[in-house]
């Protein structure tokens, strides 16, 4: 490594690089290996900044279909990297931090889904993309938080629908479309437990002329207080065009907006809305994952065919 001061970490035996050195090395490795970095808006700010493409779940999936690089280095949670691998099987897809799962995705397993379906013969299953490969393989179509309503509306109005695993996104889509949907009772801890009606009431009191922007994974009791209910992309788009906004989703969105628009009046609905899994990925993880081509996503063929069908059905609607 030219002109870079390194010290050896005696515990791991790895070189300890400064942030600037890590960024330099990641850039060099990206070129050398023909790699691209895709990252979600909930990543740590320094990781968002090293990304070639930053997006919400739908944008990241769409981008994965377009990428021609040999390596996709994914900074997000496992289901997002799996989706990228399904959509771009030729690329080596690396998950920067192997431990970053999505607890919501684990709120239903294959057996539970099979039993759920058995209670409603003939019903079609919509699964939130925040789900396991097994759940996807047992579902008819996927959706993300930005297209859930559109996906529901792609079915005949008379069709019985099951929505898994997020009860809040399912209820959001059900309320808007007034369709016959049975919703599985899973939820995201971050949005359900750490963004409360008390937070909303306090924000309304402290910042009466601000707009409240929330993610549909929040509990429906706070929907009536929101000026916008949208995916991370929808929230960011709105905040780009407006001043005086309150961000009701994971803190990474707020961090990004404050960094991009230091003079705007932007507040956070709850400082406790932190996704520990999204925050696991450090710049060091990005560096070592790329350097050693660590944590490749591998999906067996049979599972890949079944799970991909569900994602492709979604992309055909969107
Ligand atoms: P988006 O679809 O807005 O990217 O959200 C993904 C997610 O994990 C929300 O918690
Ligand atoms: Fe999963 Fe919630 Fe984290 Fe999103 S914020 S990745 S739904 S745990």
pLDDT, tens digit, for every residue of 60-92? 999 999 999 999 999 999 999 999 999 999 999
Considering every ligand atom, which ligand is closest to the CA of 58? 1
Q: Is 77 near ligand 2, meaning CB less than 6 Å away?
A: yes
Task: Please list the helix, strand and coil fractions of the chain in percent, rounded to the nearest 5, in that order.
Answer: 45, 15, 35
Q: Which residues line ligand 1 (CB under 6 A)?
A: 56-57, 130, 144-146, 188, 217, 231-232
Closest ligand 1 atom, CA of 190?
10
Check if the beta carbon of residue 80 is closer than 8 Å to that of residue 58.
no
- DSSP string spanning 119-167? HSTT-EEEEESSS-HHHHHT-SEEE-TTTHHHHHHTS-TT--EEEESBH
Which domains can be identified in the chain, with CATH numbers? 19-100+279-298 (3.40.50.10800), 105-186 (3.40.50.10800), 195-273 (3.40.50.10800)
- The phi and psi torsions of 70 (rounded to 5 degrees) equal -75, -35
pTM here is 0.94
Closest ligand 2 atom, CA of 102?
1
Closest ligand 1 atom, CA of 58?
2
SS3 16: strand
Smallest CA-to-CA distance from 97 within 47, 63, 61, 53 is with 47
Centre of ligand 1 to C-alpha 28, Å, is: 30
- 14 compared with 298, residue with greater pLDDT: 298
**Cα(201)–Cα(214) distance, rounded to whole angstroms?**
14
Residue 233 exposure: Cα atoms within 13 Å on the Cβ side: 14
Which residue's CA is the closest to the ligand 2 atom numbered 3? 275
Centre of ligand 2 to C-alpha 188, Å, is: 6
Give the distance from CA 35 to its chain's centroid.
21
- The residue behind tokens 């492709």 is 312
Q: Is 199 near ligand 2, meaning CB less than 6 Å away?
A: no
Q: Is 190 near ligand 2, meaning CB less than 6 Å away?
A: yes
CA-CA-CA-CA torsion for 155, 161, 163, 164, nearest 10 degrees? -110
Alpha-carbon distances, residue 225 vs 3, 177, 191 (angstroms): 55, 20, 15
Evaluate if residue 9 carries a pLDDT over 70: no
Chain segment 15-41, per-residue pLDDT in tens: 789 999 999 999 999 999 999 999 999
pLDDT band at 13 (very low <50, low <70, confident <90, very high): low
Closest ligand 1 atom, CA of 41?
4
Give me the chain's average pLDDT, please: 95
Closest ligand 2 atom, CA of 166?
7
Closest ligand 2 atom, CA of 40?
6
Taking phi first (over 0 means left), then psi (-120 to 50 degrees means alpha), and beta for anything else, what does residue 100 get? beta
Check if the beta carbon of residue 252 is closer than 8 Å to that of residue 48.
yes
Q: Is 130 near ligand 2, meaning CB less than 6 Å away?
A: yes
Check if the beta carbon of residue 134 is closer than 8 Å to that of residue 302.
no
Which pLDDT score, from 0 to 100, does residue 12 have? 56
**Cα(22)–Cα(176) distance, rounded to whole angstroms?**
46
Q: Is 103 near ligand 2, meaning CB less than 6 Å away?
A: yes
Q: Which of 63, 74, 144, 150 to mutate to test the pocket of ligand 1 (most atoms within 8 A of CB)?
A: 144
Which pLDDT score, from 0 to 100, does residue 3 have? 38
């Amino acid at each position: 490594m030219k002109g870079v001061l390194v010290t050896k970490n005696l515990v791991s035996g790895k070189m300890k690089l400064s942030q600037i050195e890590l960024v330099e090395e990641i850039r060099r490795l990206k070129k050398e290996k023909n790699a691209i970095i895709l990252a979600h808006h909930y990543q740590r700010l320094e990781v968002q900044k090293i990304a070639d493409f930053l997006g919400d779940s739908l944008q990241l999936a769409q981008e994965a279909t377009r990428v021609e690089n040999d390596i996709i280095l994914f900074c997000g949670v496992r289901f997002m990297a799996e989706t990228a691998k399904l959509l771009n099987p030729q690329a080596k897809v690396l998950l920067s931090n192997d431990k970053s799962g999505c607890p919501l995705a684990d709120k239903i397993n294959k057996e539970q889904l099979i039993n759920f379906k058995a209670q409603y013969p003939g019903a079609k299953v919509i699964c939130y993309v925040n789900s396991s490969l097994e759940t996807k393989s047992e579902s008819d179509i996927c959706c993300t938080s930005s297209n859930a309503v559109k996906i529901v509306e792609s079915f005949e109005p008379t069709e019985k629908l099951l929505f898994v695993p997020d009860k809040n996104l399912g209820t959001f889509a059900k309320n808007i479309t007034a369709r016959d949907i049975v919703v599985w009772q899973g939820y995201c801890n971050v949005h359900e437990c750490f963004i409360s009606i008390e937070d909303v009431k306090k924000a309304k009191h402290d910042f009466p002329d601000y707009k409240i922007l929330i993610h549909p994974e929040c509990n429906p009791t706070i929907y009536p207080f929101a000026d916008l209910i949208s995916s991370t992309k929808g929230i960011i788009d709105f905040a780009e065009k407006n001043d005086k906004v309150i961000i009701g989703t994971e803190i990474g969105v707020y961090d990004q907006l404050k960094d991009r628009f230091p003079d705007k009046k932007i507040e956070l609905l709850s400082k406790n809305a932190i996704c520990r899994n999204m925050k696991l990925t450090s710049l060091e993880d990005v560096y070592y994952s790329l350097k050693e081509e660590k944590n490749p996503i591998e999906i067996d063929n049979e599972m890949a065919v079944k799970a991909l069908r569900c994602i492709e059905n979604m992309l055909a609607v969107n």
